[in-house]
């Protein structure tokens, strides 16, 4: 029997989420409410500039008014926080996103904590992270949410499955591990200090790779039929590749996300969704 590999089309799924978000925004428009997202970009990192552009064009397709606040590279933590506090007070701003990474040496922790938890559409505030860990998910990080969303759309059950996550970052690995535990998966989290990576990855029914190492995951490291989510975005020459050797691994995977066109667009789509969630919550009394 020939088992076919499902290519998880993140772009197509994102298109559907955009349409859904636009519908929700139209409903709010009847009450004269327009969802508003503010992004804060510090400095001139070209990759960050590109991601910010992607987010704003998605907003414009999905009925969300968005603006970018550009702060100079030389900004202090206090200056960033002062700007965020201004945005916290504005009624026309329902979501605030501080683009990471911050330039040289600036610690994002305090700035992220200054975002009102109900406007924290990235889900990075300790209050939202704490709620997530306690199994009471509110606003959650967008990349993990995009992965959960895709699995739901594929009708992949999570309860009792073996999930292996490669990478233990605050933005992907750690929150995704908590979200998978909340859905009763068995979770292993691997990282640079893991002794034998392949020994773990071969267990995975669902393998999520967010390591930033091109071609890290080879065919021999993957269980046939596994669902593979490649979070990596690496520039190799003039090409963008993930952390998974796509050529090899797509031959045996049950499903796999391409790079580009996989997890990236899903991440942006979840930002739209969460901005709508935040807006609806904040305007409950007006509805």
Ligand X SMILES: Nc1nc(=O)c2c([nH]1)NC[C@@H]1CN(c3ccc(C(=O)N[C@@H](CCC(=O)O)C(=O)O)cc3)C=[N+]21
Nearer to ligand X, 100 or 252 (CB): 100
Q: How far is the CB of 268 from ligand X (least distance, A)?
A: 5
Query: Is 262 a known ligand-binding residue?
Result: no
| Catalytic hit among 99, 120, 230, 274 | 99
Nearer to ligand X, 93 or 142 (CB): 142
- Indicate whether 194 belongs to the interface with ligand X (CB under 6 A): no
Q: How far is the CB of 135 from ligand X (least distance, A)?
A: 23
- Indicate whether 154 belongs to the interface with ligand X (CB under 6 A): no
Q: Can you give the three-state secondary structure of the chain, one letter per residue?
A: CCCCCEECCHHHHHHHHHHHHHHHHHHHHCCCCCCEEEEEEECCCHHHHHHHHHHHHHHHHCCCEEEEEEECCCCCHHHHHHHHHHHHHCCCCCEEEECCCCCCCCCHHHHHHCCCHHHECCCCCHHHHHHHHCCCCCCCCHHHHHHHHHHHHCCCCCCCCEEEEECCCCCCHHHHHHHHHHCCCEEEEECCCCCCHHHHHCCCCEEEECCCCCCCECHHHCCCCCEEEECCCEEECCEEECCECHHHHCCCCCEECCCCCCHHHHHHHHHHHHHHHHHHHHCHHHC
Tell me whether residue 122 is one of the annotated catalytic residues.
yes
Query: Is 167 a known ligand-binding residue?
Result: yes
* Of positions 151, 179, 208, 268, contacts ligand X by CB under 6 A: 268
Q: How many residues bind ligand X (CB under 6 A)?
A: 17
Which stretch in 28-36, 92-100, 161-169, 243-251 sits in contact with ligand X by CB under 6 A? 92-100
Q: Scanning the structure block, which residue is given the tokens 């996300």?
A: 257
- Indicate whether 233 belongs to the interface with ligand X (CB under 6 A): yes
* 125 within 8 A of 112, measured Cβ to Cβ: yes
Tell me whether residue 243 is one of the annotated catalytic residues.
no
* Of positions 54, 131, 181, 213, contacts ligand X by CB under 6 A: 54
Nearer to ligand X, 30 or 107 (CB): 107
- Indicate whether 261 belongs to the interface with ligand X (CB under 6 A): yes
Name the residue among 125, 81, 69, 120 with its Cα closest to residue 282. 120
- Indicate whether 274 belongs to the interface with ligand X (CB under 6 A): no
- Indicate whether 51 belongs to the interface with ligand X (CB under 6 A): yes
Nearer to ligand X, 14 or 185 (CB): 14
Binding-site annotation, residues for NADP(+): 167-169, 233
> Which residues of the shown chain bind ligand X in the complex (CB under 6 A)?
51, 54, 97-100, 122, 142, 233, 240, 259-261, 264-265, 267-268
Binding-site annotation, residues: 167-169, 233
Give catalytic residue positions.
55, 99, 122
């Amino acid at each position: 029997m020939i088992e076919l590999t499902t290519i998880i089309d993140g772009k197509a799924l994102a298109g559907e989420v955009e349409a859904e978000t636009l519908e929700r925004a139209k409903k709010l428009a009847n009450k004269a409410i327009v969802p508003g997202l503010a992004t804060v970009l510090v400095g001139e990192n070209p990759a960050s500039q590109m991601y910010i552009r992607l987010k704003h064009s998605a907003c414009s397709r999905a009925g969300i008014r968005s603006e970018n606040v550009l702060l100079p590279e030389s900004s202090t933590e206090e200056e960033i926080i002062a700007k965020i506090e201004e945005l916290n007070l504005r009624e026309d701003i329902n979501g605030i996103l501080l683009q990471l990474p911050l330039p040289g040496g600036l610690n994002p922790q305090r700035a992220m904590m200054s975002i009102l938890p109900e406007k924290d559409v990235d889900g990075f505030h300790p209050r939202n992270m704490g709620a997530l860990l306690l199994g009471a998910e509110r606003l959650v990080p967008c990349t993990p949410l995009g992965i959960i969303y895709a699995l739901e759309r594929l009708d992949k059950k999570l309860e009792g499955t073996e999930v292996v996550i490669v990478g233990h970052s605050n933005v992907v690995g750690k929150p995704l591990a908590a979200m998978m535990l909340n859905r009763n998966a068995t979770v292993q989290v691997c990282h640079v200090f893991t002794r034998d990576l392949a020994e773990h990855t071969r267990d995975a029914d669902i393998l999520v790779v967010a390591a930033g190492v091109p071609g890290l995951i080879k065919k021999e490291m993957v269980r046939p039929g596994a669902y593979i989510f490649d979070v990596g975005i690496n520039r190799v020459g003039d090409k963008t590749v993930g952390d998974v050797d796509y050529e090899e691994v797509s031959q045996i995977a049950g499903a796999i996300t391409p790079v580009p066109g996989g997890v990236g667009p899903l991440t942006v789509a979840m930002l739209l969704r969460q901005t709508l969630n935040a807006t609806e919550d904040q305007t409950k009394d007006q509805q």
